[in-house]
Amino acid sequence: MCIRSQPIDDSLVKKLKLDESETISITDEDIKSQRMGKMFDDIFEIERKQTDNLKRWLRWKWQGVKNLKYYIKYALRNHIKWHKTLCEIRPWEGFSGLLHVMQTHLEDYVQCEEKYGTAAKDYKEMKISSVHATLELLERMNEPDDYYFIRKEEVDKRYPDYKYLITENDRSTSYSGDFIPFGNGWVGMESGKDPREGYFEFVCGKLELVKSPDCFETDRLLNEVKNYHEDTLDAYKQAELASKNDFEALHILMKDNLYSWWD
């Protein structure tokens, strides 16, 4: 059967030996009707999709209304939880600010893992234990100077007579060196390049080397100051090593556990 938009010439029908009953003539009106039908089909399809999208959007909105109380709850909680971090971070404190963020996130993770975690008991305990170890490292690293000050405090306890000698002038105050009070003056070593050492007194407002009232005691105290210096230097080296070890331990913990903490 041949479908055509215009009638076939009678001579062509006879030549092709076609019966007129086998042909269908489609008029211009029929063609127009078909085109309009296709147009309406497209419109109905667009409207259907728009209706589906509207229903989906309404479902999302309704779900948002149902979850509103949880949004409010966690918004308030987060403002309280992060208040300390946000208040303590300053533009020049990128390092300590990063540590505050890490600590807060890990504390949140431990609470959620302990309450909602579904992993096997041994694996769950392992993850929580690794987080606690990380939090201990971050707590120490949060105040880098403490690595040295804690060890320096132990040294100072062994040398209770040790004193800093601070000198003042009209314009500034300066650190003059490390000394131990003795007699009317001080026994110790000056700071800076080519420091002097021995027994000092203030002469006309200046710190000057003078004759000691007891040379043997001066030598003993001077040796004590030197021992103090050695112990202080050793405390500094220990602090540097402890800080380095903590950084390496943090690197290993994060490399081995970072992704497992959030699965």
Comparing 124 with 23, the larger pLDDT belongs to: 124
Residue 128 included in any domain: yes
Closest Cα partner for 209 from 248, 237, 179? 179
Residue 195 included in any domain: yes
pLDDT digits (tens, 9 = 90+) for 175-204: 567 888 888 888 888 877 788 888 988 888
Rounded percentage of the chain residues whose pLDDT exceeds 70:
70
**What's the pLDDT at 177?**
76
Residue 157 included in any domain: yes
Domains held by the chain: number: 3
**What's the pLDDT at 55?**
74
Question: For residue 105, what are the domain limits?
Answer: 72-142
Do 152 and 246 belong to one domain?
A: yes
Model confidence band, residue 263 (pLDDT cutoffs 50, 70, 90) = low
Is pLDDT of 116 > 90? Answer: no
Do 136 and 160 belong to one domain?
A: no
> How many Cα atoms are found within 13 Å in the side-chain-facing hemisphere of 108?
13
Do 104 and 128 belong to one domain?
A: yes
Is pLDDT of 87 > 60? Answer: yes
Residue 262 included in any domain: no
CA distance 1 to 23: 6
Lowest mean pLDDT among 5-9, 172-176, 209-213: 5-9
Is pLDDT of 49 > 90? Answer: no
187: three-class secondary structure by DSSP: strand
**What is the mean predicted confidence (pLDDT) over 121-148?**
91
Is pLDDT of 172 > 50? Answer: no
**What's the pLDDT at 92?**
66
Is pLDDT of 11 > 80? Answer: no
Which pTM was predicted? Answer: 0.58
Do 138 and 152 belong to one domain?
A: no
Residue 256 included in any domain: no
Do 168 and 241 belong to one domain?
A: yes
**What is the mean predicted confidence (pLDDT) over 214-218?**
90
Residue 197 included in any domain: yes
Is pLDDT of 171 > 70? Answer: no
> Which of 20, 36, 60 represents a domain boundary (last residue)?
60
What Å distances lie between residue 152 and 43, 157, 186, 256, CA to CA? 82, 9, 22, 34
Residue 172, judged by CB atoms within 10 A of its CB (0-12, 13-18, 19+), counts as: exposed
**What is the mean predicted confidence (pLDDT) over 74-86?**
77
**What's the pLDDT at 4?**
45
Residue 134 included in any domain: yes
| Mean pLDDT score of the chain | 77
Is pLDDT of 3 > 50? Answer: no
CB 195 within 8 A of CB 226: no
Do 159 and 135 belong to one domain?
A: no
